[in-house]
DNA sequence: TTTTTTGAATGGTTTAACCATTATCGTGTA
DNA sequence: TACACGATAATGGTTAAACCATTCAAAAAA
């Protein structure tokens, strides 16, 4: 029935007051909080306690702290970074396997690209084509590092075209985390890279004619194929782990 | 090319060391860290700095701190709570609107229930039926508070049946956040409550015969209808805000 | 045996001082 | 005049030692 009364920790109260000021718009992104030595007086607390509060706000992604004169706590625009970080912890802790993320991607990116097909502006499609050409150049130069990066950008840009921030944040969080792993597990090879490129070519074509269903099927297949290759590669490496 | 060298903050180093120990399994959930006064000596730092590190780890959801003798920092099993909290910040800050979440739910819960239909065990279906009966009782007693709670449990249980922790975490995070709002915006009324119940009856029936497509359509419709009603209600309240 | 009291371990807070970083301003030199 | 360099001060980062508050467990009392 009742929840345990929250224990009285002074820094929590400070956190809440500053957080509420930020969320209510009283403090806008870019605004600078007073110096620690002033804040501590305002809240009638010690500097150590105040700093614990600032640490929490920083971790929540609400403020950013700069050093030196004219430094201090600056209100940040809230973004998906804290979610990215929490997701990374879930993965690293083993609570989430890459299989689970792959299954999630197959289901979700299909939906996202469907929305993207409905909503993409001509400028969006131009941007996708620009990214595509960029990726192609990296492919030709065999610059796999940058190719992967551009691949990630294209995926997150699909999120942007969906014009729904939930999908944008998710797409960013997921790809931010999986690329770290795919890069470890999948030594690049020209065939798969070529496949990837072709998939995007087809997706862009589908976006142009606003064929959400087609785009959806392509990307679901894209993700599934990519993941299966990774699994296969992993299995091989586990069978003969000492092939150096 | 290069990233800015990370600034040397002692407490960050402490955070990383403890975090790595936890993620590597060196410290398992339930394990108790040494007392602050001992840790500060181990890390050769001051208690204030060490406490800032503990504050960050606590915020990340990696540890929990208990008071009193035999208290201290205890390693927590990582869960979706930090993601829930970050999502709540995104919503409260206005970066995310309820419309965006509704659209996300329509797309995603369809996918989740499709997986659930494939994977639900007989025990799962029994549990859903138990929850359904529970909700029905609350309905008959006009206990809207508990009805909403049970409704939320049913939605999150669909995530559990999907057997994919990504969907479980998302379902928990989303519903944890939206119910807070739906409860504010939508005074309960018997008609919609009845509709909700009927939807779940149909979903359970579809789960029984493993008809993922049917279940998917029902829940997508369920979410869409629910959201539209809320929008309409909001619009009415804005037109005549002083109807008390 | 049960209840009450006491003590010690541990997190929470305060204070005061010092260190490290950096923007700004003044001064000297080309 | 214009630029480079160095002093200065503001500000976050760290340290240290002490005290307060909470809690559990052991000792004492009923």
One-character DSSP codes across A110-125: HHHHHHHHHH--HHHH
Query: What's the whole-number mean pLDDT along residues A76-97?
Result: 94
pLDDT band at residue A1 using 50, 70 and 90 as cut-offs? very low
DSSP 3-state of A234: helix
Model confidence at A243: pLDDT above 50: no
Q: Are A33 and A72 in contact (CB under 8 A)?
A: yes
Radius of gyration (C-alpha) of chain B in whole angstroms = 23
Q: How many CB atoms lie within 10 A of CB B233?
A: 15
By C-alpha distance, which of B201, B66, B221 is closest to B133? B201
Residue B132 burial by Cβ neighbours in a 10 Å radius (0-12, 13-18, 19+): middle
Using the beta-carbon criterion (under 8 Å), do A87 and B83 form an inter-chain contact?
yes
Pairing type for strands B63-66 and B72-75 reads: antiparallel
Model confidence at A54: pLDDT above 70: yes
**Nearest nucleotide to B49, CA against C1' atoms:** D14
First-to-final CA distance of chain A: 61
pLDDT at B185: 66
The pair phi, psi for residue A74, each rounded to 5°, is -115, 135
Footprint of strand C on the protein (CB under 7 A): A 8-11, 44-49, 52, 67-71; B 7-8, 33, 35-37, 47-48, 51, 54, 65-73
Q: How many CB atoms lie within 10 A of CB A8?
A: 7
pLDDT band at residue A244 using 50, 70 and 90 as cut-offs? very low
Angle at the Cα of A59 from the Cα atoms of A53 and A62, rounded to 5 degrees: 80
Task: List the beta bridge partners of residue B66.
Answer: B72
The minimal CB distance from A59 to the residues B60, B90, B111 is found for B60
Q: Are A59 and B59 in contact (CB under 8 A)?
A: yes
Q: What is the pLDDT of residues A174-188, one digit of tens each?
A: 998 988 777 766 666
Using the beta-carbon criterion (under 8 Å), do B107 and A100 form an inter-chain contact?
no
Q: Tens place of pLDDT for every residue, chain B, 244 residues?
A: 455 556 689 999 999 999 999 999 999 999 999 999 999 999 999 999 999 999 999 999 999 999 999 999 999 999 999 999 999 999 999 999 989 999 999 999 999 999 999 999 999 999 999 999 999 999 899 888 888 899 999 999 999 999 999 999 999 999 989 887 777 666 667 777 788 889 999 999 999 999 999 999 999 999 999 888 888 777 766 665 544 3
CA distances from A224 to A97, A109, A156, B22 (A): 15, 11, 18, 32
Give the global pTM: 0.90
A85 touches chain B (CB under 8 A): yes
């Amino acid at each position: 029935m009742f929840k345990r009364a929250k224990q009285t920790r002074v820094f929590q109260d400070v956190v809440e007051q500053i957080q509420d000021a930020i969320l209510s718009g009283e403090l806008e992104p870019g605004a600078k909080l007073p110096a620690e030595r002033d804040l501590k007086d305002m809240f009638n607390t010690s500097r150590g306690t105040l700093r614990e509060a600032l640490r929490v706000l920083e971790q929540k992604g609400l403020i950013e702290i700069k050093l030196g004169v004219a430094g201090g706590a600056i209100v940040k625009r809230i973004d998906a970074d804290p979610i990215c970080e929490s997701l990374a912890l879930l993965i690293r802790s083993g609570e989430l396997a890459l299989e689970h993320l792959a299954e999630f991607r197959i289901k979700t990116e299909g939906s996202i690209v469907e929305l993207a097909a409905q909503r993409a502006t001509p400028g969006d499609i131009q941007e996708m084509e620009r990214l595509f050409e960029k990726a192609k150049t990296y492919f030709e130069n065999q610059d796999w590092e940058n190719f992967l990066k551009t691949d990630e950008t294209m995926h997150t840009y699909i999120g942007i075209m969906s014009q729904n921030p939930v999908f944008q944040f998710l797409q960013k969080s997921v790809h931010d985390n999986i690329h770290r792993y795919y890069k470890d597990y999948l030594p690049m090879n020209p065939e798969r890279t070529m496949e990837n490129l072709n998939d995007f070519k087809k997706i862009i074509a589908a976006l142009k004619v606003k064929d959400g269903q087609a785009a959806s099927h392509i990307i679901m297949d894209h993700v599934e194929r990519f993941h299966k290759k990774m699994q296969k590669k992993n299995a091989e490496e586990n069978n003969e782990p000492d092939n150096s």
